Amino acid sequence: MSFSLKLSPLFIAIAATMAANTQAADDTSREGFVEGSSLNLNARNYYMNRNRHQHTDDNIEWGQGFLGKFESGFTEGTVGFGLDAHAMLGLKLDGGGGTDNSSILPVSAGNGKAPGSFSTAGGTLKMRAFDTELKAGDLFLTNPVIAGGESRMLPQTFRGVSLTNHSFDGWLIEGGQASFTKPYNQSGHKRISTSYGTLADGEESQHLNWAGVAWSGLPGLTSSLYASELKDIWNQYYYDLDYTYALNDLVSLNPGLHFYHTQDTGDALLGNIDNNTYSLHFTVGVGNHSVTAAYQRVNGNTPFDYISQGDSIYLDNSQQYSDFNGPNERSWKLKYAYDFVGLGLPGLTSAVSYSRGETDLTKVDPDSKGYTSWYSADGKHAKHWERDVDLKYVVQGGKAKDLAVRLQWATNRGGNGYGALDQDTDEYRVIVDYPINVF
């Protein structure tokens, strides 16, 4: 099967604008540049401890992050203009001297010590016409093919253009192009790259184009379809379908599907890629309890890959430590979650899960341009498992309202040649978020 994809920001803009013109809106009733503006701050304290059993030094870092986001409204008129801006600051509280590189703080330049601080700032120009919004600058993106990582002390951003349209009830149409990314543990920008592929020296992709639609037109039912092109590396396509059905006031059922197809394109800087990856889940909710069973499969001799540091892996078995995305990997997961509001403790939630996968690392091409590190002659039945515990409390009222404390613990173990890919690891995270709505 052969796929091709040629996207351009101009094509996306024209298509979405044409859709917008089918349903004009009355902009005179919308808030102005100042009246529609907001300023939000978040202070995130983050501790991570990775205990790697086959290494003498663990990865232990502790930091304090600050994120400020200003979003303006739009000037009045049929076409409105606005401005968004953000600033980030990360402070090292502990880490270095052999314990660095946990991914919270910047990677040191050889002395084993992360810098005492790092910071960045950015802005976005935006324009709105009818139900279409165009942004250019530093973007916070969240979709299945390009999503900024939010799981560390500071978030990841992308530099480029994006366009969204809400002309039709229950529909989101969006697209864009991004050329650079600001990693979550660095100050500067770099070209977009991938999480698992290794490019040769001097090679890089120039940009990622994407377009997609998301639909939520019926109660409990959602679906989306996306396509992207990481220039000279891959074309990636995504589809999902999720349905929540309430049997009664107490019991609900939630089946769902996620599917990705990834195919090399252009100069194929990471070599041959022909990968189909999917996951299926089924959740039964009973009151404040829920139980989820999930199955995930990777069909292809390369791993399922996605944007470096990003969260654009909408698969059920992507866990705290492992993504269970190895070449030809099959994995399953059982998860139990409980909301303690049932015991009179609103804001306290918990989840426990166990995931297990098996992959054939002997089928990986040892001469692959981008994925040689995945090859293992002893990995025909490479196996690993992960146990995750997650406990979170959000303050419900008072001066500390919305303050959130989260404790995470992951245990990952491997065997039958899996050690060539990763080491046995225990990982602990303590995350404290304090959001402040200034105006």
pLDDT digits (tens, 9 = 90+) for 151-173: 999 999 999 999 999 999 999 99
Q: pLDDT per residue over 252-306, tens digit each?
A: 999 999 999 999 999 999 999 999 999 999 999 999 999 999 999 999 999 999 9
Residue 171 · residue 213 · CB < 8 Å: yes
| Tokens found for residue 80 | 């409105």
Q: 40 pLDDT exceeds 80?
A: yes
Q: pLDDT per residue over 10-38, tens digit each?
A: 444 444 444 444 444 444 445 789 999 99
Based on the number of CB atoms within 10 Å of its own CB, is 377 exposed (0-12), middle (13-18) or buried (19 or more)? exposed
Q: Identify any residues that bridge with 316 across adjacent strands, giving them in sequence order.
A: none
Question: pLDDT > 90: what percent of the chain?
Answer: 79
Tell which residue, 391, 429, 387, has the closest CA to residue 412.
387
Count the neighbouring beta carbons within 10 Å of the beta carbon of residue 111.
Answer: 9
Instruction: Look up the CATH number of domain 9-437.
Output: 2.40.160.10
Maximum CA extent, the chain? 68
Residue 163 or 202, more confident: 163
Residue 23 · residue 30 · CB < 8 Å: no
- What is d(CA 65, CA 106) in angstroms, rounded to the nearest whole number? 13
- What is d(CA 358, CA 280) in angstroms, rounded to the nearest whole number? 17
- What is d(CA 73, CA 406) in angstroms, rounded to the nearest whole number? 33
Q: pLDDT per residue over 58-91, tens digit each?
A: 788 999 999 999 999 999 999 999 999 999 999 9
Count the neighbouring beta carbons within 10 Å of the beta carbon of residue 393.
Answer: 17
CA-CA-CA-CA torsion sign (237, 305, 121, 203): negative
| Residue 294 confidence (pLDDT) | 98
